[in-house]
Structure 1
Amino acid sequence: MKTALTLDLEKTLFAYWQELGVPVVEEVTMPQAAGIVDSLARQVNADGTITWRCFELKVTKADFHSGAKWSFVGDYNYFVLPARLYPQVADAIPAGIGVMTYRAYSKQAVAASNLPVTTPGQLTVVRPPRHQALAVPAGELETRFVASLNREVVKAKRVARGLSQYSDEQLLKELQRRSDQYAIYDPEDNLYDHFADQLQNTTIAALQAELDALAAENAALRLGGSA
């Protein structure tokens, strides 16, 4: 489960590279037991060559030292850290690995801005990375990158379709799974009661529309008969 701070770093990193015209995708599984890259950027250069940038996002000192594999397999590789964390782990960062630090915008700064604020904070490159040879074949990176992009498209389409993608049986099972959350004395908080109220309101509205249509048709027939 990602923390709110991790999601903020992820969102800001995505926006940072998107503004530069570089597509980024999260959680890309690498081949050859090379782990999972937290974020992977595919940059097309002026001469048509591709530069791969890998990012490891860490939000606490314990997270940094957790023992999880650092998947620095790209041409350029970075840690993305909260600004306060960087001094605590700087000595443990391997040579050649870059660092981007994150600072959240204050509520006052957001409120005072005359422009829409689309990210929760900003990133600064405080330590540039050095080029290294790819640790996995470029073709594998292409394949894994596209697969991860497709995964995100599938997620987006599921959200766009909403509940229509689920069968009645699946929806019923989900309602039954939440039965232990039913508050007898607090119907305002119950999914069942909200659903029943909406269904009743929809049914009443549909019946009223049908009655109005019948009344209009009846009136038209009477006028036609009197003519």
Structure 2
Amino acid sequence: MKTDLTLEMEKSLYFYCMELGGIVVEEVTMPEEHGIVDTLACFFKENKMEWRCYELKVSKADFMSAAKLSFVGDYNYFVLPTELYEKVQGLIPAEIGVLVYRRYDQFQEEQMAPGTFILAKKPQKQSLKVPEDLLLERFMFSLFREVRKAKQMSYGTSFFPTEALYKELKKRGQEKDHLHSENFHDRFFSDVENARIKSLEEELTALEQDYQFLKSQRKVKRRPTERLE
């Protein structure tokens, strides 16, 4: 699970790259044994695509972990808090750049991100570790994934099949906090039950009205048939 600092840096990096003119997406799975790029940005330079890979680390244990470093781009960066950079700067390869995170002192509503970055170490250009057509393919797949998420948020529950909604409700029912006042699982089923009761009451009222009408029709006196001469 990502820490709050990781999420904060990830969000800030997204807008940092956008401000530089890049197209950005997080968590791009690479082919073969190249792992997952934390953040991948594509810049257009002189009618050519320039690929920049960013690996976010927030602790020394995270930095020293055996997780695959997906430095497959033209330029590759570690993205670090200041305190961590001071501890590990001697361990960073010469060809890898470093962006140091700087949180804004005061976050204004008009600001898109809580912080920005200082280029602490320039990267050296490298040859792509993945063929560019495959890199572009994975990049597009990840962009589509994010667009799909946005569509789901925009369309709401209408985007999901009924079976998927049922499974999610069932899952939340198993994980729910029975003592929480805002138990949306129970609230949903309570609303469904109330709607069902209301519908049955309306149907019963309509049937009662029909019954009373038919009953009144039976009480209407008919004229006796006149005798034939």
When normalised by structure 1's length, the TM-score is 0.77
Uncovered stretches (5+) of structure 1, i.e. residues with no partner: 205-227
Contact 1:8/1:120, CA 8 A, preserved across alignment: yes
In structure 2, the CA distance between the partners of 1:78 and 1:169, relative to structure 1 (3 Å rule), is closer
In structure 2, the CA distance between the partners of 1:195 and 1:68, relative to structure 1 (3 Å rule), is same
2:9 aligned residue: 9
* Matched residue type, 2:14: F
In structure 2, the CA distance between the partners of 1:50 and 1:116, relative to structure 1 (3 Å rule), is same
Aligned sequence identity (%): 48
2:75 aligned residue: 76
- Alpha-carbon shift at residue 170 of structure 1 (Å): 3.6
- Alpha-carbon shift at residue 21 of structure 1 (Å): 1.6
**Which of 170, 175, 178 matches 1:176?**
170
Q: CA RMSD in A?
A: 2.6
**Which of 103, 115, 119 matches 1:121?**
115
- Alpha-carbon shift at residue 94 of structure 1 (Å): 0.5
User: Counterparts of 2:104 and 2:48 in 1: how far apart (Å)?
Assistant: 36
1:41 aligned residue: 41
User: Counterparts of 1:131 and 1:192 in 2: how far apart (Å)?
Assistant: 53
Listed one character per residue, the Cα deviations across residues 88-142 of structure 1 (whole Å, up to 9, x for unaligned) are 1111101111000112223xx22xx5x6121011111111111112222222211
User: Counterparts of 1:182 and 1:140 in 2: how far apart (Å)?
Assistant: 45
2:52 aligned residue: 53
Q: SS of 2:181's equivalent?
A: helix
Listed one character per residue, the Cα deviations across residues 133-163 of structure 1 (whole Å, up to 9, x for unaligned) are 2222222211111111111111211222222
1:31 aligned residue: 31
- Alpha-carbon shift at residue 38 of structure 1 (Å): 1.0
1:154 aligned residue: 148
When normalised by structure 2's length, the TM-score is 0.76
1:141 aligned residue: 135
1:94 aligned residue: 93
User: Counterparts of 2:169 and 2:112 in 1: how far apart (Å)?
Assistant: 35
* Matched residue type, 1:35: G
User: Counterparts of 2:167 and 2:31 in 1: how far apart (Å)?
Assistant: 37
- Alpha-carbon shift at residue 9 of structure 1 (Å): 1.1
- Alpha-carbon shift at residue 32 of structure 1 (Å): 3.4
Contact 1:78/1:98, CA 8 A, preserved across alignment: yes
Give the number of equivalent residue pairs. 198
Q: SS of 1:84's equivalent?
A: helix
Contact 1:59/1:81, CA 8 A, preserved across alignment: yes
**Which of 179, 184, 187 matches 1:194?**
187
Uncovered stretches (5+) of structure 2, i.e. residues with no partner: 199-229
